[in-house]
Chain A
């Protein structure tokens, strides 16, 4: 029985700062998948995530989540539908403690009732956050801040999580940790969209991928196929 995709982006045109950033982008994400969106700097990956999250609204086309249109909604509304964006560099609240950051993660109405439950889960997956719960976010290391951003996102009780450049500027050890958490998140039934510059790593973790170039999807498919593709080999693996 064919299942409706969890997220369906149809032919969106997106303008950012007066210039067109995305041209007729379409993609689908099915429940339980990890989908990677890869491409060079400026290809439009972040713009795409921001559009899904409602920070930018597409000039044309539609975005449907669980069969309902979300492309005209404000970000705070989209969060309560179950879509959570973990922005680039995490953007945790610097002058709030780890615990306070996590608390504010359950602000939306759907998540409030499950705050204590979700907090337990977050501490289970990210024990370092429990250790440092009373520390101010600005005193955390880069990797810890990123973990806090993930934890905070989990508190919003999401069905779909979007990660913008999760591993940017972090050491391989930390990156491994973060991806471990990502796999545990998927095991919990949360669907993931991953935007990464680190192509090799993201293809290792993802089921399917879309490759963006200059605001357009140039290639897509499941990861095994993509790896075989000559273009991908040349562009990203140098063979």
Chain B
């Protein structure tokens, strides 16, 4: 009985954290599903939203979640511009060129963050950051609960968007057969730009909630990318449900690994599971 009660903490925390991890991975999964591009700058772009929220909080006292009202459109425009003017041209050059461009963006961003915000560890700490709430007798940080709730809402909203709007359907079609999509009247280039822009909006949301949950430095983008990557490997590409499951597995692997082995081994266990899945079922649990 005691063991069960003890286990419930890492399990609940793992699930809540898993929600956040799936949110981080959504943008990466979308971009790969549509453009077959592994956006190695994804983590750093997520971090951009975190730093933007940080600046808005320290300069104007704007609550990070509220600041998304500004952050999301900004990231949308940045994403649209990156795809339309940079990546689009890179695709015409070669298959590898966009990857290299993404890498370049990643390096530039990391150094930019270093210069503007210094290597100091930061955090998004509004008044409610220290609050906790209870689930069935367990005390859990409020932020973790918010993370999970928001992830769920975003994933459901994204699924509805992809299914019900013409843009969403066009993105889906273009990712399955770009040529046939063009024959249906879809402007593939513009649709790709939209998809990337949407991925950036997802990254914007993820960035704020990551900043509320963990401290961050200019290098955090790398950790975010690795998490997103792990989630996508576990859950498979092209499936929102898969990304959710992948996130849960990552979160649980981390917390349970930490519980049974020790906090130092947390990430190791998570990565180990990713490694095993990659070997046994490379397309992921839900992958096609």
Contacts and interface: CB of A to CB of B under 8 A. Distances in A.
Interface string B179-198: 11111111110000000000
A96 interface: yes
A58 interface: no
A107 B172 CA distance: 13
Contacts of B184: 76, 79, 104-105, 107-108, 152, 156
Contact of A108 (B172, B180, B185, B188): B185
| Residue from B166, B179, B183, B188 whose CB has the most chain A CB atoms within 10 Å | B183
Contacts of A80: 185
Interface string A77-111: 00110001101000111111000100111011101
Nearest to B188: A76
Given A95-B176, A95-B288, A104 B187 contact: no
Nearest to B187: A76
B181 to A, nearest CB: 8
A39 interface: no
B170 interface: yes
A92 B181 CA distance: 9
Interface string A20-57: 00000000000000000000000000000000010100
B172 A96 contact: yes
A90 to B, nearest CB: 9
Interface string B148-174: 000000000000000000100110110
A74 interface: yes
B166 A93 contact: no
A74 B183 CA distance: 9
B183 A75 contact: yes
Nearest to B163: A100
Contact of A87 (B176, B183, B185, B187): B183
Contact of A94 (B166, B170, B176): B176
B185 A55 contact: no
Contacts of A74: 182, 187
A112 interface: yes
A43 B70 CA distance: 57
A103 B182 CA distance: 15
Contacts of B180: 87, 91-93
B170, B180, B184, B186 pick with most chain A CB within 10 angstroms: B184
Contacts of A85: 183
Contacts of B182: 55, 74-76
A156 B184 CA distance: 7
Give the most central of A93, A96, A103: most B CB within 10 Å: A93
Nearest to A75: B182
A65 to B, nearest CB: 15
B242 to A, nearest CB: 13
Given A55-B179, A91-B180, A93-B180, A103 B185 contact: no
Given A76-B188, A79-B183, A92-B180, 10 more contacts: A91-B177, A91-B180, A93-B172, A93-B180, A93-B181, A96-B172, A104-B173, A107-B166, A107-B185, A112-B166
12 contacts: A55-B183, A76-B185, A79-B184, A80-B185, A84-B183, A91-B177, A93-B172, A93-B177, A104-B169, A104-B186, A107-B169, A107-B186
